[in-house]
Structure 1
């Protein structure tokens, strides 16, 4: 027989304070400013390209148009095409060329995405077709008279004939627009800054987008349609020398002889001054001149297109020329120099020296740099054949290190015998100098830049493909010696392949900062116990990386003697650095999954790179890549796709749809995912390393070339992408699906075996993960993914984050970043042993609720009642979507879904109802450091209660509420965002919530008293009263409350009172100079414990608008040292934290001790190395409740004792973590401390509890 296991249900619901004790989630906001990015490993490539005569088809034996192939390859790299990804914006690239006697720097090295500006350039134009009226005056002269074609005979009458005609000026009027206005911007300019022909492109921008501009309007393409003419009255013209009365003309010639003459007489001329009218159509161009924005990528494209081949191949001089530029040296005045070719180009040289690329001179140990040297033949030195000249040239480019250089320095080049003698130096044709110089560039001690400069060599053309001479062999050795590689080729594809191969050799993986706070869960099956396991969410901050999502991992460790340790019993945090060690061995790690990191270490005062192979570890190491033996990641979504390829959400109370890689390739009518335009991004979730170009090119068609390329790409060899989003703010949640009961008769202890524990957490990638926790330290299935939920709105909004970071977009998204919670009802079933029943959610309930934080405004409810570690399908109960709410509806006022849902029971319309209680949310206005105006109302101002079954709004309160009805309460001062979890309190053990507590971002703390009568929600408002118990909104620095208040009950001479504690801190800008004076606030609530509270008038309340600016019973007293008692007759006390110190996390109260993590923003980092850094530091402080003074019993006397010393928690924002083993719990640290730690032991007792948290 199956029965409801109600005792455990109650235990779970009533043990909320226990779970709080164990939580350690930092309440981060948009706190990315806490992380200074590691100096990104910038890569600089200088292209030195051969433009000698043999690059032309007429000047090589193979008739190869090498210069055009080179251009085509470079253009592919810079622009990209269907088969080639463009070089990334962050790659630093410059261009140089060589031919004749020297090498020349043509374009300085800059990031391809860098913008440059052209003043006084045509930037934008508006094109408006117009139509209007037109008039034009004209003059017409006609002639009448008589004629004959001989000198005799009669005269014939001459009909009216036009003698002359001339048009006058055209006037236009009433011009009207004739069609839509077009807008175009210029993308390329002539030398005079006018826009090039065919360089105007359509744009959505407007003139105001181009800053300060001037305009000039011209009209072209005039076309006239004359519909009426009026000659007017003619004027007779006679006896005028211009219009003779008689005349003659030859009308027929015979050679030069006039055969027939026509004679005229009595000619009469008439002038008409007429006018014609009609319509005119024209195009009006309004061209704006301002500052044009160009990119280095466009400049490179233009420079490549201008490459022109001619003359010889001065290899050694060219190599040293480009190196001189990279090192900031000079070749000015030297024989073989190309320095003067860049005269006047201030980005390249200053008149005396080259200006080295900034990427080479800054953070040298982090960056890589190389020379890509492409040549189509052996070195030729027609102009400077003396080896001593080349040596002198190379020496001078090495500046202060010139004394260490000699062409005779040993290398692998110049050791052969069969060198060319065509225009060359004496044996070995300068190769010994090139070899020695290559080695100098690789040794930071031998070149003035103090960096390693690698060299890649490309032999371009069939001469190298078939050549066996010494020059060819040394060219091949040169690439190997330079550590950039040797490549041969003869077409544009070879150029692309060689550059990409060189880039891989230049890549350097610099391990980023790994940080986070551990979460130690309460045992769901026995809430008196804390599990000995901690779940450590990790993420790699990359604030400067311009990616869609940061990446991370989740790892499992054990808590041993209050310290986090791995399965090798090693401490996992570096106490000196305050971050995780490089290679911990966590309990979820698949130790066969490795990655290579490059660390910079110093040996003999020189930075050197050292590669280390380390474990990926955590849940990430357990991810399945691709499809092996029909096994792949299990991914569910609430996204459905129509037959036409249109995507939407499936709605409420439905089974989620499973996405498979097979369904992305071939159409499955049950889901149509093969028609989904986002299928390329979804494929990346299965590990296929899809590029952004491939993913974005897919349409709803299954038959086009883009889809064919995509389907062919989904092979196991391309399943190389192992990536998880950052686990930043979504606290790992333990849910338990079943366990077998064990009872030890000797000790009386109850325990559970054969457990099915799962860990739930969201990531910034936009996914919710469900992972097997593991039944023991040796469980081989621990860390394996059960399933992942990909919400439709995340797929629509930020699917680029599914791709490799290198292929993502530039806007950082936060995904599923909110904390989640669970409601569970277990049932008991008979086990294999009659004395060991099985507790399970099968037949019961397992519901998850959570939001997105800065990922959006939605809340989701999922049903996992049928899910186990090996089977079952999740359902979606509902989605709350304020984005889709109608204007002025309750949900339309909600902000981002920051508040962790509180699940509780209320009496609603006469029945018990499970509800989800959340704060209104976060208003992004707080991303700005300033304070909102007093008259404004924030997004998220208020508190909401939803039906936990359906997601419908039952009740809400706030300044935007329009009336006091049974379903809403207007509170005029509740104008600020409420972002924390709502504290729910049951005062009488009836299982129904009676009071809610929460703070807001305007320095206010609220209490809501709920009505538990049968009339609540029917005829009376659910809220009996809403009281502002703390009001610091008028303080000079208004505090912001992001965290959940703690609630404790205390006894004062037999009279009970409540204490609320909450800390303030600007979590949106934790490092800011503003709001320096934050505090820990401890408020006495002397009303909530009064038996007659429900019938008291507002004027009879004691704890209302307590503040630090008043005196008397509502005064909040400063407790300067944190150890001075404050009388209960006052309103409470506050502890000033000090300048730029803040409380950014929930506090923990246990046994009258209050633990508070205080973040110190004064501890900053001035400089950052390759590893980046975490700003600020956190320390645990302990205070004594309720009065703010620590005491102890000395004999029969109570005496004051010192407050315990603060304890370092680590760098950055680290919350308080409590954990232990069995019923013992205490502060858990990332690394050891010399301070004494208190352990607290809970005892299982059956006592009447009138006050407990929900």
Structure 2
């Protein structure tokens, strides 16, 4: 049993940075994964510039008590000492995203910049310490000189004006006060190894060489030999040899009498030999290390103007001035301020300066915030400081000790640092919308946002064990993050994969991929031969005619292993008979593929890529484009959800007679595909339709997840159909807050023959429609809710909304002449510009006046979840005429429906009821579900305690679950076993849009409610007579049997169901 207290929190880390322009710039619901700064701008790096103005007035010589400029003899408790020590600690611990500069008071003439705003590092810390020493001349003496710093008055407004001039890069009024020609080296270039070629000359002996060559030198050497032929020029006889001793009795022994040395008179033969020496020059590389030197300097002034530290091209940069003082202004003449016009009141002048700096209208068009930190402030002075900080968008702190002064600076810099930081690299994210459960198995489609139009994805399997999510090595979820813990291992993985999207799962199991593709729309599937050098052709793969074999190989290698992101595609599982575990999961991705995964081991049976994607395969593999300048993706693939028609076999364990899959592309294109996957290893094309098909020119982007049902064919039989909305019109709704006169595409509903794809009937505001409906002027991207009143497998009514806030009903007629009625108009302009992206849920209510259908639909700008301009809500429309077969009813509007936002119950005579959501920007982004007389649906609010002003911070939001009584509109518990809550909504842990609530039945017959990754409650099954918006072929004698089908629906429509309630 699932532990109801277990919350599997998923916090989607965002990638990247987003553009600072109105919310309508990001034409996609992926804007929740991005900040507003431009991800492609290399200038955009998290950074804060902070100029700290230090009070160096004479009162800083005092301790807590004291006045004037007399020195306190207690060195440690002097105010300047407290400041000195606090600033040394700040400089020691400064975060690397915060750059700091120092300013100071300058007598009564204003302020002075001591140090430019610069990084705090090993190179610059000595400058900071020297500057601090310079303003604390008496730090080592109990009785410093009267001329030592600090000294002077407190001209706060004038000094603030000088600080502002520096930050804005205005004229230099009061000069600088440090050495090194006004420049500080803040970064050294790395030492560089410099190498050069040197010619080296060597003389080597050789056996012989050409003596005519200048490099060849021949020399002679005479060596003593026993004998040689004196007739040869190389032989000579030299003088007698001298020896140490010889026998004088011998005739050739002679002793020189003068030196008494012996000489042996024997001929000394010498033979000449030639030595050849060759002069050889070789080039050798000689390397040495050269110091890099300074590669970045910071200056305070350039000529007569300050050098502003503000980089207006960096959208992720924030700018701040911190004013520190120990008392009220003195010696101040605000009339001398140049930035704004001031009177004589210092604080009023400071408020004006702070307000000017904090506006986009200053000379840099970049806000600069002002903060105040005081020491020993009185109440009135502190109140004035708070007024300055409020005008400057900053904070105010007071301190009364060394510790609290340090804390004040640290808290201020912590806030600034937090404002400077951003999630500048993508984080691992699980898409909570893409999760489903089968038996005790959990399957998660996961993806990783990235600063690119291509994101990595995966499908992973886990298991429910005693109410917890387990992998192979036990508990898989990190309770601190709500995502998979670092050491966890999912069920199919051979390694620890944890939160890493690129490890384990189905992605790891891909071997030699069985990739099937088409080369024409609706053409036969072909299996790709990875070894072929020509099929498909380079042109069919999106490669140019000049592509090399290496480029083709690189593309195919990536195509063989890639796994894109399943951003909106929800997995669907089909059982193939024999046993409950013979299942395959089908899920498609923005890599342009549909994947068929064997649930037993995660192996891939096949992948399918249609011609529309194949012909630009290079964009999904080797030439992946970056994000656009507004952080929108340039490429999508098969981003729609699929549904399966499993034609049942002889019994529940039999193999199906046939299995067909149907799915669209969402933002990837304008096609629907039908595949025959009866053999999950050998798929075939059933049919394909697009906006070029007969009767479908109005088809937009195929957002509408198909709904399978059947309708009468006019001759007493029924025909299986696929019903889809006309789709999405991006030109009309991506970037516009206003309503067009009529959308360019998508304002249709199509009935397609499920086996042939032929348009059997259509309705809409276009000439091609079988039933032309004048009010159908706007796109229908949602799925269609189908109502089967008598459970005979044939649709009786269908409901859908459009992007103008209208709701329509299709009444199915036996003769095929179906009727379309507009039953509600709930949109408008401005804050009432409501859109219905998701399908409604429909409930049957038995009332004393007759049975009625209650149509529940929520509004929300799905393409822009961060939009805050519209007041969205949930609307419950009473359809009194659908079941009576005749009669007319007044169009439901917010005027004739009961507004229960503030409480109360709907009037019995009203056309229904509604309430608007309480949080700013709160909207419904998933379909509702009706269960046991209750409506369950989720909403998303884009901002919850977030720093909206920081363009580089991802705006995490908050998801909510609403549980409301269908008839009374009162807050409802999840089951009859629980007391009704005080509120209709409860906050979820999820910080991104939550999906439709999922209702699971455990072995004990209890209904467990799961929203995304959170188990939110349970209740008894009872007799809800709940039928999902899905269909499978049943024999006539089983048509009224409510049974769990093998067909899985998409998350956007999972709650589009028909319920029956007693109206309580």
- Give runs of aligned pairs for residues 754-793 of structure 1, distance below 5 A: 755-774=581-600, 781=601, 783-793=602-612
Q: Which of 533, 538, 552 matches 1:676?
A: 538
From the superposition, tell whether residues 809 and 930 of structure 1 become closer, same or farther in structure 2 (CA, over 3 Å). Answer: closer
Return the alpha-carbon distance in structure 2 between the equivalents of residues 1153 and 912 of structure 1: 33
The superposition leaves residues 110-151 of structure 1 with CA deviations (integer Å, 9 ceiling, x where unpaired) of 9xxxxxxxxxxxxxxxxxxxxxxxxxxxxxxxxxxxxxxxxx
Q: SS state of the match for residue 1175, structure 1? A: coil
| Contact persistence 2:37–2:951 (CA under 8 A) | yes
Q: Which of 968, 986, 990 matches 1:1187?
A: 968
User: Offset at 1:1001?
Assistant: 0.8
Residue in 1 that maps onto 2:655: 840
Q: SS state of the match for residue 822, structure 2? A: strand
Return the alpha-carbon distance in structure 2 between the equivalents of residues 1237 and 662 of structure 1: 54
- Give runs of aligned pairs for residues 550-699 of structure 1, distance below 5 A: 550-559=455-464, 564-570=469-475, 572=477, 581-582=485-486, 584-591=488-495, 616-624=503-511, 632-639=512-519, 648-649=520-521, 651-652=522-523, 654=524, 656-663=525-532, 665=533, 667=534, 672-673=535-536, 675-679=537-541, 698-699=546-547
Q: SS state of the match for residue 620, structure 1? A: helix
Q: Does 1:1213 align with 2:993?
A: yes
User: Offset at 1:761?
Assistant: 1.2
Return the alpha-carbon distance in structure 2 between the equivalents of residues 590 and 38 of structure 1: 39
Q: Which of 684, 690, 709 matches 1:875?
A: 684
Return the alpha-carbon distance in structure 2 between the equivalents of residues 1232 and 990 of structure 1: 35
From the superposition, tell whether residues 458 and 996 of structure 1 become closer, same or farther in structure 2 (CA, over 3 Å). Answer: farther
User: Offset at 1:795?
Assistant: 1.9
User: Offset at 1:821?
Assistant: 0.5
Residue in 2 that maps onto 1:953: 759
Return the alpha-carbon distance in structure 2 between the equivalents of residues 587 and 1193 of structure 1: 32
Q: Which of 1004, 1018, 1021 matches 1:1238?
A: 1018
Return the alpha-carbon distance in structure 1 between the equivalents of residues 425 and 488 of structure 2: 17
Q: Which of 863, 877, 889 matches 1:1083?
A: 877
Return the alpha-carbon distance in structure 2 between the equivalents of residues 897 and 973 of structure 1: 21
User: Offset at 1:969?
Assistant: 0.7
Return the alpha-carbon distance in structure 1 between the equivalents of residues 449 and 588 of structure 2: 17
Q: Which of 854, 868, 889 matches 1:1059?
A: 854
Return the alpha-carbon distance in structure 1 between the equivalents of residues 470 and 185 of structure 2: 43
Q: SS state of the match for residue 855, structure 1? A: coil
Residue in 1 that maps onto 2:172: none
User: Offset at 1:1047?
Assistant: 0.9
Residue in 2 that maps onto 1:818: 640
Return the alpha-carbon distance in structure 2 between the equivalents of residues 327 and 1206 of structure 1: 38
- Give runs of aligned pairs for residues 981-1000 of structure 1, distance below 5 A: 981-1000=783-802
| Contact persistence 1:927–1:1069 (CA under 8 A) | no
Return the alpha-carbon distance in structure 2 between the equivalents of residues 400 and 517 of structure 1: 49
The superposition leaves residues 901-924 of structure 1 with CA deviations (integer Å, 9 ceiling, x where unpaired) of 011111224242111100011111
User: Offset at 1:616?
Assistant: 1.7
Q: SS state of the match for residue 661, structure 1? A: coil
Residue in 1 that maps onto 2:447: 539
From the superposition, tell whether residues 1142 and 1199 of structure 1 become closer, same or farther in structure 2 (CA, over 3 Å). Answer: closer
Q: Does 1:1149 align with 2:930?
A: yes
User: Offset at 1:1192?
Assistant: 9.8
Q: Does 1:512 align with 2:307?
A: no
User: Offset at 1:732?
Assistant: 1.1
The superposition leaves residues 467-525 of structure 1 with CA deviations (integer Å, 9 ceiling, x where unpaired) of 99x9978749x99xxxxxxxxxxxxxxxxxxxxxxxxxxxx9955241411555476xx
User: Offset at 1:854?
Assistant: 0.8
Return the alpha-carbon distance in structure 2 between the equivalents of residues 874 and 449 of structure 1: 67
From the superposition, tell whether residues 1188 and 1027 of structure 1 become closer, same or farther in structure 2 (CA, over 3 Å). Answer: same
Return the alpha-carbon distance in structure 2 between the equivalents of residues 935 and 784 of structure 1: 50
Q: SS state of the match for residue 696, structure 2? A: helix
The superposition leaves residues 1114-1161 of structure 1 with CA deviations (integer Å, 9 ceiling, x where unpaired) of x21011245x32243321110110231111111122111211111112
- TM-score, with normalisation over the residues of structure 1? 0.48
| Contact persistence 1:816–1:855 (CA under 8 A) | yes
Residue in 1 that maps onto 2:570: 731
Residue in 2 that maps onto 1:921: 727
Return the alpha-carbon distance in structure 1 between the equivalents of residues 879 and 573 of structure 2: 33
| Contact persistence 1:943–1:957 (CA under 8 A) | yes
Q: Which of 657, 663, 673 matches 1:860?
A: 673
From the superposition, tell whether residues 942 and 403 of structure 1 become closer, same or farther in structure 2 (CA, over 3 Å). Answer: same
Return the alpha-carbon distance in structure 2 between the equivalents of residues 472 and 955 of structure 1: 83
Q: SS state of the match for residue 454, structure 2? A: coil
Residue in 1 that maps onto 2:958: 1177
Q: SS state of the match for residue 1154, structure 1? A: strand
Residue in 2 that maps onto 1:901: 706
Q: Does 1:802 align with 2:621?
A: yes
Return the alpha-carbon distance in structure 2 between the equivalents of residues 1189 and 1143 of structure 1: 18
From the superposition, tell whether residues 852 and 550 of structure 1 become closer, same or farther in structure 2 (CA, over 3 Å). Answer: same
User: Offset at 1:838?
Assistant: 4.3
The superposition leaves residues 282-302 of structure 1 with CA deviations (integer Å, 9 ceiling, x where unpaired) of xxxxxxxxxxxxxxxxxxxxx
From the superposition, tell whether residues 574 and 726 of structure 1 become closer, same or farther in structure 2 (CA, over 3 Å). Answer: farther
| Contact persistence 2:569–2:642 (CA under 8 A) | yes
User: Offset at 1:803?
Assistant: 2.9
From the superposition, tell whether residues 1227 and 1253 of structure 1 become closer, same or farther in structure 2 (CA, over 3 Å). Answer: closer
> Unaligned regions of 5+ residues in structure 2, if any?
1-9, 13-25, 46-96, 102-112, 133-182, 202-280, 293-422, 1026-1037, 1043-1055, 1060-1064
Q: Which of 839, 858, 880 matches 1:1044?
A: 839
- Give runs of aligned pairs for residues 120-135 of structure 1, distance below 5 A: none
Aligned length: 682
Return the alpha-carbon distance in structure 1 between the equivalents of residues 975 and 702 of structure 2: 50
Q: SS state of the match for residue 818, structure 1? A: coil
| Contact persistence 1:573–1:1231 (CA under 8 A) | no
Q: SS state of the match for residue 729, structure 1? A: coil
From the superposition, tell whether residues 1175 and 328 of structure 1 become closer, same or farther in structure 2 (CA, over 3 Å). Answer: closer
The superposition leaves residues 5-61 of structure 1 with CA deviations (integer Å, 9 ceiling, x where unpaired) of xxxxxxxxxxxxxxxxxxx9x9x9821211225999x9xxxxxxxxxxxxxxxxxxx
User: Offset at 1:1163?
Assistant: 2.3
| Contact persistence 1:1059–1:1083 (CA under 8 A) | yes
Return the alpha-carbon distance in structure 2 between the equivalents of residues 553 and 455 of structure 1: 41
Q: SS state of the match for residue 582, structure 2? A: strand
Q: SS state of the match for residue 1011, structure 1? A: coil
| Contact persistence 1:518–1:535 (CA under 8 A) | no
The superposition leaves residues 428-448 of structure 1 with CA deviations (integer Å, 9 ceiling, x where unpaired) of xxxxxxxxxxxxxxxxxxx99
User: Offset at 1:947?
Assistant: 1.2
Return the alpha-carbon distance in structure 2 between the equivalents of residues 464 and 733 of structure 1: 73
Return the alpha-carbon distance in structure 2 between the equivalents of residues 712 and 929 of structure 1: 40
| Contact persistence 1:1057–1:1088 (CA under 8 A) | yes
Return the alpha-carbon distance in structure 1 between the equivalents of residues 643 and 446 of structure 2: 20
User: Offset at 1:535?
Assistant: 2.3
Return the alpha-carbon distance in structure 2 between the equivalents of residues 1030 and 809 of structure 1: 38
Give the structure with the higher percent strand: 1
Q: Does 1:1101 align with 2:888?
A: yes
Return the alpha-carbon distance in structure 2 between the equivalents of residues 720 and 472 of structure 1: 47
Q: SS state of the match for residue 697, structure 2? A: helix
Return the alpha-carbon distance in structure 1 between the equivalents of residues 612 and 32 of structure 2: 28
| Contact persistence 1:538–1:554 (CA under 8 A) | yes
Q: SS state of the match for residue 840, structure 1? A: coil
| Contact persistence 2:964–2:972 (CA under 8 A) | no
Return the alpha-carbon distance in structure 1 between the equivalents of residues 945 and 744 of structure 2: 31
Q: SS state of the match for residue 517, structure 1? A: strand
